[in-house]
Amino acid sequence: MNDSAMRPLRPARNWALILGTLLGVTMMTVWSARGIGFSLTELACNLPGGSRLLVESWPPEFSYFPRLLAPLLETLQIAVVGTVIGGILAVPVAVLAARNLTPGVLVWFLDRNVMNVLRTLPDLFWAMLFAAAVGFGPVAGALALTVFTIAVISKLWSESLEAIDMGVPEAVRAAGGSWLAMLQFGAIPQALPHYVSYALYAFELNVRASMILGLVGAGGIGMVLETQRSTFEYPRVTLIVLSVLVIVLVIEQISEAIRRRLA
Amino acid sequence: MSTKAALRPPPGVGWATQVTLGVAIVFLLCAWAIDLTPGALANLPQQMVTVLGFFYPADMSYGASRVLPALIESIQIAWIGTIIAALLSLPLALLGARTLFPRIARLVKLISATARAFPEILLAIYFVPIVGLGPFAGALAIGISSVGMLTKLGAEVVESIDMGPVEAVQAAGGSRLLALRYAVVPQVLPEIVAHWLFRFELNIRASAVLGVVGAGGVGGVLLNTLRYRHFEKAAAVLLLTILVVLIIDVASGAIRRRLLR
């Protein structure tokens, strides 16, 4: 008796919330599973045929590799062009979206919300749009990555710009400097290492994305992947996937090493 | 005068200038290689305005009849993929925590790093022939590729917990399983569920593009409308996608903030 008085009260559980959440998640899951035709019997029936394809797709057809070199190089070129143009355009977009630096609340509001809307569309949608607008090929891919890069860098960097020490920019203003001078000498130098780091990060994402842009006709290795995939040349598909993975991993390692040194 | 000059850093080509020059040269070479000429760039804004004109007005009857069902399918793909990944990654996250299972953690982290390296769409290329064209292949691809990231983030959450309760359970004679149930899971669950929700937001975007390789969802619809240059229909796809993704982002973000509070 005395013991129970000493013990702290067991926290009450909100059973309504727990049951409601479980019920909601279960219903959503059942609804989704039915909607997409999730069936284990179908999986079991298809598995023998599918595993034959998996067996066929190994070993990769290494003799095909020389023909991949040019498209792989083109893929990297798309990523570089997209990152550089996007990285330059992201600077004004990020500055205007930083609350402490923006010249007007209206500009800030518009910039922020337009970018939020742009960010909802996946990179491959941009590739399809630009392929329709400027024609199939690497230029469409580079433009798609440009938009994607602006979206990534401006979001991350505007947050770093908001976190800078405002003393220096205010000093520039107090000394009679213009808004641009304030940016150039007061604000941007403080956040420059962040910018370089985010630009490298965007490059990593772009290399990864550029590998699949070709699936919708936006140039690079993805276009080869699409033709080999649609003719079920899976030994070649495996070779392409492996070379893409190696390149992505190597570039990520290099870029991460540089970013760690910057931080 | 002379002392001032001595104090100043010597003028010359700095590190930043060299990097900028290098990047500029590589950029120009790449732009030249993919035929991106200054003329083409100058023409671009006008070209974009012309093309944008084709998108107006959006064909909303097409949106209601074809795009909404495809978007719902994308959401369902993302949901099932996230559920698969959540179920698989919870035990893996516990096993991947250095602080709890020092020996297995290394292996689990290696597996999760490999799973993270595959973009969903490359996995879908393999799942489509295995389980057949359609959304099920997409859900599996998204599920498998999300496991890697969720395991990594989950393991980091588990590693950051207060080990006191774990030691208390074990000191009171509880087994390792009981320690996980009563000391670890209650500490990590809110943050891990927040990661699941964040991954769901990412998976909505990922599932939207999977239609490109025939794995269901709204991506295939957009590809077809643009291929046949039905720009009004494509506009409906874009508008509805933006709307649905924004709504889900806002709702999921609100829940995540409450969970982490």
Given a cut of 60, whether residue A115 has pLDDT beyond it is yes
Closest Cα to residue A236, out of A63, A26, A19?
A63
Is residue B1 in a domain?
no
> Average pLDDT for residues A213-220, to the nearest whole number?
85
Specify whether B48 is located in the same domain as B94: no
Looking at residue A143, its pLDDT comes to 92
Q: Is the pLDDT of residue A96 over 90?
A: yes
pLDDT reported for residue B24: 92
Are B221 and B204 within one domain? Answer: yes
| SS3 category, A38 | coil
- Which residue segment(s) compose the domain that B35 sits in? 7-53
In the predicted model, what is the mean pLDDT of residues B252-261? 88
CB contact under 8 A, B238 and A121: yes
What does the pLDDT look like over B68-123, one tens digit per residue? 999 999 999 999 999 999 999 999 999 998 888 888 888 998 888 887 877 888 88
Same domain, B64 and B122: yes
Which pLDDT band, with edges at 50, 70 and 90, does B52 fall under?
confident
Residues B41 and B143 in one domain: no
Domain boundary among B35, B53, B71: B53
Q: State which of A145-154, A251-260, B62-71 shows the largest mean pLDDT.
A: A145-154
Residue B196's CATH number: 1.10.3720.10
Mutate which: B35, B127, B130, B243, vs A, most A CBs within 10 A: B130
Give the residue with greater pLDDT, A11 vs A190.
Answer: A190
Mean pLDDT of all residues belonging to chain B: 87
Can you give the pLDDT at residue B78? 94
* B105 and B16 assigned to the same domain: no
Q: Which CA distances in Å does A130 have to A117, A144, A147, B187, B192? A: 17, 6, 10, 47, 37
Shared domain check, B149 and B183: yes
Q: Which residue has the higher pLDDT, B86 or B1?
A: B86
Q: Which of A236, A232, A229, A222 is nearest to A52 (CA)?
A: A232
CB atoms A125 and B208 under 8 Å: yes
Whole-angstrom Cα distance, residue B35 to residue B32? 5
pLDDT of residue A156: 93
Q: Supply the pLDDT for residue A5.
A: 62
Min Cα separation B48/chain A (Å)? 7
B118 is a domain residue: yes
> Is residue B2 situated within a structural domain?
no
**Rounded Cα gap, residues A222 and A207, in angstroms:** 12
Q: Compute the average pLDDT of residues A126-149.
A: 90
Same domain, B101 and B154: yes
pLDDT at A84 over 90: yes
Same domain, B123 and B25: no
A132 and B136: CB-CB below 8 Å? no
A89 touches chain B (CB under 8 A): no
In the prediction, which pLDDT does B90 show? Answer: 93
Do B96 and B71 sit in the same domain of this protein? Answer: yes
Q: Which DSSP string corresponds to A97-133?
A: H-TTT-S-HHHHHHHHHHHHHHHHS-HHHHHHHHHHH
B112 and B79 together in one domain: yes
Residues A154-199 have pLDDT tens digits of 999 999 999 999 999 999 999 998 999 999 988 999 999 899 999 9
- Residues B204, B248 contacting (CB under 8 angstroms): yes
State what percent of residues in chain A have pLDDT above 70: 97
pLDDT at A24 over 90: yes
Superfamily of domain A62-262: MetI-like (1.10.3720.10)
- Which of A38, A74, A131 is nearest residue B80 as measured by Cβ atoms? A38
Output the pLDDT for position A17.
87
Residues B41 and B141 in one domain: no
Residue A65 neighbours by CB under 8 Å, 6+ apart: A239, A243
Amino acid occupying residue B22: G
Q: What was the pLDDT predicted at B6?
A: 57
The residue extents of the domains of chain A are: 10-55, 62-262
Buried b vs exposed e over A164-173: b needs ≥16 C-beta within 10 Å?
A: beeeebeebe
Contact, B150 vs B94, CB < 8 A? no
Picking from A240, A154, A229, A146, the residue whose alpha carbon sits closest to that of residue A195 is A154
Nearest CB among A43, A117, A128 relative to B223 is that of A128
Q: Which of B26, B34, B209 sits opposite A74 (nearest CB)?
A: B34
Closest by alpha carbon to A212, among B200, B149, B206, B240?
B206
- The pLDDT, as a whole number, for residue B80 is 93
- Alpha helices by DSSP H, listed for chain B, are 2-7, 15-33, 38-54, 60-62, 68-95, 102-117, 120-131, 135-159, 164-171, 176-179, 185-210, 218-227, 231-260
Question: With 90 as the cut, is the pLDDT of residue A90 above it?
Answer: yes
The pLDDT, as a whole number, for residue A48 is 76
Chain A residues in contact with B36 (beta carbon < 8 A): 81, 138-139, 142
pLDDT of residue A87 exceeding 80: yes
Same domain, B176 and B139: yes
Q: Which residues of A touch B216 (CB under 8 A)?
A: 36
Q: How far is B103 from chain A (nearest CA, A)?
A: 25
Listed residues B15, B37, B53: the one ending a domain: B53
- For B137-150, what is each residue's pLDDT tens digit? 889 889 988 998 99
Does an H or E element contain A248, and which?
helix A234-262
Task: Return the SS3 of A80.
Answer: helix
* Minimum CA–CA partner of B82 in chain A: A29
First to last CA, chain A: 59
DSSP assignment of B141-196 equals HHHHHHHHHHHHHHHHHHHTS-SHHHHHHHHTT--HHHHIIIIIHHHHHHHHHHHH
Q: Are B141 and A69 in contact (CB under 8 A)?
A: no
Q: What is the ipTM of this complex?
A: 0.81
The two structure tokens encoding residue B247: 């709504």
Q: How many domains does chain B have?
A: 2
Q: Containing H/E element for A158?
A: helix A138-162
Least confident of A27-36, B108-117, B216-225: B108-117
User: Which residues are within 8 A (CB) of A71 and not within 5 positions of it... i.e. 6 or more apart?
Assistant: A214, A220, A221, A223, A224
What pLDDT shows up at residue A218?
84
pLDDT of residue A133: 84
**Rounded Cα distance, B1 and B36, in Å:** 50
Summarize the confidence of residues B198-221 as an average pLDDT: 88
